[in-house]
Amino acid sequence: MMGKNRKPAFIVFLLTTFFFRWAVDLYAQDIIIPIEQITISGYAKSSQSGSFQSIRIDSLQKGRYAISDLATLLKSETNINVTQYGGEGSLSSIRLRGSGPSHTQVNWNGIPINSPTTGSIDLSLVSSLMADEVELIYGASGSLFGSGTFGGSLNLINKPDWNNRLSFMIFGEAGSWNHYKTGVGVRTGNDSWQYHAGGYLQSSRNNYTYRNTFMPGSPVERRTNDTLKTSGFQQHLFLRLPRSWSVQAGMWLQDRDKDLPAAMSSGYGNPANQQDQSFRLFTRISKIWKKSVLEIVGSRFADSLLYTEYARTTNQAFRQSGLYSGSSSAGLSGRWYPSNTLTFEAGSEVESQKARGSSFTGIMTEYRGAAFGSARYKTEHLTFMTGLRQVLLSGSQTRTLYSLSARYEVPGINLLIRGQASNKFRLPTLNERFWQPGGNPSLLPETGTGVESGLEWGQKSESGSEIQLSTTFFFQDIHNWVQWVPSGTYWSPENIRFVRCQGFEASGNYSGKIGAVRATINSTYSFTESLDMNILSDNTRLAGQIPYVPRHQVQSRFSLAFRGFEGFLSYRFTGSRYTTDDHDPWLMLKPIHIADFSMSHKLFLKENEVLISFRVNNLLNHSYQLIRAYPAPGRSFLLSMNYMFNQKSKIYADN
């Protein structure tokens, strides 16, 4: 009977996967050539990062931004530094703890999805609909996660609900400047298999008004050539097989067509357009014994980009470039639990990365491998973990990464003390080494060492109110920081910087009831110094601050909930930021003050839920820029409605 129940899920999953795989190949065949990526990782990465500061955005928090992109979700729910080139769907990057966009590893169910060519990922391409949970691990260990974790690790997690029998979701959103977005999701199965599928469509004209501070008198102008059309689809199959075997398979297809507006400083410029496509596929197979776990992971990722520039007078394309990249990897890992207090893990992984395009002389290929191991000792109050990773690169280069971490829960006073130390590195990307003109094959990997310590305290009263306080101090050196610099008639990357990132973060949260009203307040403050030690002045530390890294950031949020109604108010402050390496004060971005407001009401009708929300972004209509010369939107209004049908049962009818 179990085999019959799984058969329909297999058929749906395979047919849909092959259809979309065929569609991607057909679309890309005139531009470039397919490439692959495989990686190994597991959920153990998250569970073994308990000594690191982390933030987890669950489904309840994500409900406010059901089909928003990841950049919007992170700006609204965290106090991290996100930069964006203007309006909805524009290139967005994360800069954790004073690091660069390529210093945060983004993982999809444990598998890195950073671009092999740029080393980063555009957060506007990732819809929050594509993950059940979003987890941010600050300063994630290189021995655990591999290359490129100076800032940390951002994890997108999909997981099954084995009690689910059938759930159906429809999302819709409309807002200012012809913004429309709709999505749908289906989940079905029993306690032996679960199938998830979901997708979305979005169009936004982004024709908002802004003040052009590069013109005399700062006139009000309207944004042009900023239209966005994007869509995404994802599906997952979870299987529980006999003899403690399990399988998870996932597929993710993404498409974006984005007009690229000119910078305010360049006048109207020539219109440009960029088309992005991504195809991602992975499979994870696990076997559980009494005291051990075996895991096999494989994946294939492929990305394409087509950039076109048009003549303003004739609207004819006169410049076009295409890029296709991807990688393939596979890995094997095992965990052994010899006792209730000890855990050992060991494994290996291999990966190939490839890229082809008009700026490469052929197909660029690189191979990587790694062997890793870790040990964890855990008692009721103390957890200690150590990790080691040996990385093998093309050309017989090797790199050794280590980590030590500990956490101690002080009995009786609800106090947690944690700390960690690790070394890290980042391999130069294919663009940095092979781009023509300007690529530098002689680049060295970025290397560094970091430490972190923190305290967490919490208290919960009998009345249900709860308070949580935490603070974290961090310190990290990054050597051989890669930067593109002028070299004759073009730009070329060089290992020219020694950067020191240090600072502290503090947060406080309160949740309690006043009669039937639930009130929640939380505030976060971060102080970050990201200092170029090569130019640091004895007179002022500000002279060495890396561009686009604010020293001060604050976020405060307040919400009231009453019988299905919720009101939400948030405030974000971002300090001034340099935008050039010479720290020209005339080109510095001013501090940002942003307030957002939302109201929502949830209706429960037996197994049906309807959530209606109204949101005002940038309530005070503050004029600001996250990237110099690219204005951010002013006040905007969004109306959304989410419908969900959810059926749960302990016993499935066919069993």
CATH assignment at residue 105: 2.40.170
Domain range enclosing 206 = 2-442+607-648
Q: Higher pLDDT residue, 34 or 46?
A: 46
Residue 16 has pLDDT above 50, yes or no: no
> What does the radius of gyration of the chain's CA atoms come to, in whole angstroms?
25
In the chain, what's the furthest Cα-to-Cα distance?
76
Cα distances (Å, whole numbers) of residue 116 to 40, 86, 356, 391: 16, 25, 11, 17
Per the domain annotation, does 501 fall within a domain? no
Query: How crowded is residue 441: how many other Cβ atoms within 10 Å of its Cβ?
Result: 8
Question: Strand, coil or helix: what is 117?
Answer: coil
Encoding tokens for residue 53? 């500061």
The H or E element spanning position 14 is helix 2-28
CA distance 523 to 135: 19
101 compared with 399, residue with greater pLDDT: 101
Q: Which of the residue ranges 388-397, 472-481, 632-641 would you say has the lowest mean pLDDT?
A: 388-397
Neighbouring CB atoms inside 10 A of 488's CB total: 8
Contact 73, 128 (CB under 8 A): yes
CB of 94 within 8 A of CB of 101?
A: yes
In a domain, 503, yes or no: no
- Identify the weakest region by mean pLDDT among 26-40, 146-160, 171-185, 524-538: 26-40
The one-letter amino acid code at 313 reads T
Six-digit token pair at 540? 């002022």
What is the bridge-based pairing of β-strands 552-562 and 517-532?
antiparallel
Query: What percentage of the chain reaches a pLDDT higher than 70?
Result: 88
Mean pLDDT confidence for 542-555: 90
User: Does residue 24 lie within any of the structural domains?
Assistant: yes
The answer to whether residue 162 is domain-embedded is yes
Q: State pTM to two decimals.
A: 0.89
For the four alpha carbons of 60, 65, 70 and 74, in that order, the dihedral sign comes to negative
User: For the chain, how many structural domains are there in total?
Assistant: 1
SS3 call for 49: coil
Token pair in block for residue 443: 């680049």
Task: At 218, give phi and psi (nearest 5°).
Answer: 50, 65
pLDDT for residue 33 is more than 90: no
Residue 492 maps to a domain: no
| pLDDT of 31 | 31
Does 378 map to a domain?
Answer: yes
The answer to whether position 478 is within a domain reads no
* Residue 287 reports pLDDT greater than 90: yes
Strands (DSSP E) found in 25-132: 54-57, 81-84, 92-95, 104-108, 111-112
Candidates 512, 572, 633, 497; CA nearest to 177 is: 633
In a domain, residue 453? The reply is no
Measured CA angle at 241 (ends 237, 246), to 5 deg: 55
Band of the pLDDT at 461, cuts 50, 70, 90?
A: confident
